[in-house]
Each structure stands twice: as C-alpha cells, then as structure tokens.
C-alpha cells in the first residue's frame, strides 16, 4: 500500500516535470528600444540610446543563436518601429520570451544603475534573473526589479521584460556603454539571465503553493514606483499615473531620475 502511494507520488512528479519541460521557451524576441527618428533618452543627450540598444541587441542575438535559440528581432537596423508592431511581433511567437533592451537617462548626471521591469506575474522570475545577471556584470547600482505597465509589457501575451542597461546621462556609465567590450558583456549577461531558465511558469504553475515566485521576489518589487510626466519613454501606462500620484510624493528624489 505504502509502495503504491510512493509510486503515485513519483508518477505525479514525473508528469509535472514533463509539463514544465513543454512550457520552456525555444524562441527569444529581442526588442531594441527606439530607433530612426526616435533616439530615446532626453533632449540634448550626447549618446543616442537607440544606437546603444541596437548594438547590445545584435550582440545578444548572436549569443543566443550560438546557444541554440531561435531569435526574432523587432528591428535589426536604425529604423523606427511602432510599439504596436513590436508587440505584434512578440505575440506572433509561441514558446517564446520578449526582451526589450533600453538604456536609462536622467536630468541629474549622478543617477546610475540597472533596473528591470516586468508586468505580468509570469514574467517576474525572468526579470529577476536578468536583473541579477546584468548587475553582476555592470558592477553598478542595483535599482531593482519593478512592476510597470509599459505598453510593450502590458500588451504582450508571452513573458516580457524590459531591461534598462544603465544611464547614458551618467558620465561613467555612458563611457562604459561606448565601449564595445562592455556592450558585449552586457549582452552576455542578459543572455545569461535568460539561459538561467528561471521558472518561466505557465499560469497554472503559479497557482502551485510551492512556487517560490511570489515569496522570493517580494524584496525586489516596488509597485508604488511610477515615473512622472516627461519621461523619455513611450511605453508607459497612462492609466497608472493618477492612482499613484499621491504616493509618488513620498518617494525619495532618486525615483525621479528616470525622467
Ligand atoms: Zn528607452
């Protein structure tokens, strides 16, 4: 009798593993932020964000393809691509994840560090994995993993993450970003974060009480954080502005660094 129970448990475990295996992704959709007339960043910014995001993304494609992944790019040259097209490109893929590559900017030159955004709960582990890998490489401030309703994150049906690879308005980080070897390191660390194969869980797996996702990520989440108007990016959720404007006042000055 006891043997039967153990056998049943083993079968359940195996079945679970198989299901999990089926849900792992084979394709990565890379979305280099901005492009064409949209340079990204803030007015007067010396280093164009759009060029840096494209370069890191092309390097990321190479790393991932070498690792055996199928890669789709929302753009692979300096052209403008509407956000809706980027999302549609991502949503056309199955067994895939969506990685938006950006660099940050701020009016305060001292603002620095790496931050990674996600929107859907199923994207949180991927965001955490990429954030920790990139922070380790960049050796700069860890601004954390944050939930935000950016258009490209909100409208995608596959796990989606937006990584901000440092501030191009920070003298040190801008100098680093202009170094090809550093951009290669960034690409490799993003790839490492993806390949670490975190629990890119299906929705059903998130209902599993043994999932570590909700518990483990809490210290990194800052759901109150909201950029004010005048942000340099177009992918933010307009609906969130009003609700959180009150809380925003309580935040420290660093929270406005992204604008
Ligand atoms: Zn950007």
Coil vs helix vs strand at 194: helix
| pLDDT of 172 above 90 | yes
Residue with tokens 């995608």: 156
Residue 222: which pLDDT band, with cuts at 50, 70 and 90? Answer: very low
- Tell me which CATH homologous superfamily contains domain 24-223+231-244: Zn-dependent exopeptidases (3.40.630.40)
Average pLDDT for 81-109: 97
Question: From ligand 1's centre to the CA of 243, what distance in Å?
Answer: 24
| pLDDT of 103 above 70 | yes
Alpha helices in the chain (DSSP H): 2-22, 49-66, 83-91, 124-138, 151-154, 171-177, 180-195, 203-206, 213-216, 240-248
| pLDDT of 215 above 50 | no
Question: From ligand 1's centre to the CA of 118, what distance in Å?
Answer: 15
Tokens of 60: 């990321």
The CA distance from 178 to 169, in Å, is 12
The full set of domain ranges for the chain reads 24-223+231-244
- The pLDDT assigned to 196 comes to 86
The CA distance from 173 to 162, in Å, is 18
- The pLDDT assigned to 24 comes to 79
Residue 198: which pLDDT band, with cuts at 50, 70 and 90? Answer: low
Tokens of 248: 């925003």
- The pLDDT assigned to 101 comes to 98
Radius of gyration of the chain (CA): 19
More confident residue, 184 or 257: 184
List the one residue out of 47, 44, 34 whose CA is nearest residue 74: 34
- The pLDDT assigned to 228 comes to 34
Question: From ligand 1's centre to the CA of 15, what distance in Å?
Answer: 42
Q: Residue 185: which residues within 8 A CB-CB, separation 6 or more?
A: 137
Question: From ligand 1's centre to the CA of 137, what distance in Å?
Answer: 20
The whole-angstrom distance between residue 45's C-alpha and the CA centroid of its chain comes to: 23
Question: From ligand 1's centre to the CA of 1, what distance in Å?
Answer: 60
Question: From ligand 1's centre to the CA of 18, what distance in Å?
Answer: 38
Q: Count of CB atoms within 10 A of residue 146's CB? A: 20
Tokens of 49: 């964000």
Average pLDDT for 21-49: 90
| pLDDT of 234 above 60 | no
In the 3-class helix/strand/coil scheme, how is 60-103 assigned residue by residue? HHHHHHHCCCEEEECCCCCCCCCHHHHHHHHHCCCCEEEEEEEE
Q: Count of CB atoms within 10 A of residue 38's CB? A: 17
Coil vs helix vs strand at 36: coil
| pLDDT of 6 above 90 | no
Q: Which segment of 69-73, 81-85, 100-104, 225-229 scores lowest on mean pLDDT? A: 225-229
Sign of the torsion formed by the C-alpha atoms of 183, 189, 193 and 197: positive
- The pLDDT assigned to 197 comes to 64
Question: From ligand 1's centre to the CA of 9, what distance in Å?
Answer: 48
**DSSP code at position 158:** S
The CA distance from 177 to 249, in Å, is 32
Average pLDDT for 127-133: 96
């Amino acid at each position: 009798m006891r043997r039967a129970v153990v056998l049943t448990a083993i079968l359940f475990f195996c079945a679970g593993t198989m299901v999990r295996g089926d849900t792992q992704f084979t394709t990565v959709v890379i979305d280099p932020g901005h492009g064409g007339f949209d340079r990204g960043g803030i007015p007067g910014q010396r280093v164009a964000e759009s060029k840096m995001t494209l370069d890191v993304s092309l390097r990321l494609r190479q790393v991932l393809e070498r690792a055996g992944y199928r890669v789709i790019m929302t753009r692979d040259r300096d052209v403008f691509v509407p956000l809706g097209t980027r999302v549609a490109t991502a949503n056309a893929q199955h067994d895939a994840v969506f990685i938006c590559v950006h660099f940050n900017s701020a009016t305060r030159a001292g603002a620095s560090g790496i931050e990674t955004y996600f929107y859907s709960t199923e994207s949180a582990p991927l965001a955490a994995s990429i954030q920790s890998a990139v922070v380790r490489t960049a050796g700069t401030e860890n601004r954390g993993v944050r939930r935000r309703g950016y258009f490209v994150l909100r409208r995608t049906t596959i796990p989606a993450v937006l990584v901000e690879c440092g501030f191009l308005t920070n003298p040190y980080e801008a100098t680093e970003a202009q170094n090809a070897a550093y951009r290669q390191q960034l690409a490799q660390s993003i790839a490492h974060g993806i390949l670490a194969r975190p629990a890119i869980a299906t929705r059903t797996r998130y209902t599993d009480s043994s999932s570590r996702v909700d518990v483990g990520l809490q210290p990194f989440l800052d759901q109150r954080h909201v950029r004010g108007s005048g942000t340099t990016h177009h992918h933010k959720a307009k609906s969130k502005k009003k609700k959180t404007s009150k809380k925003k006042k309580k935040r420290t000055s660093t929270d406005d660094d992204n604008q």
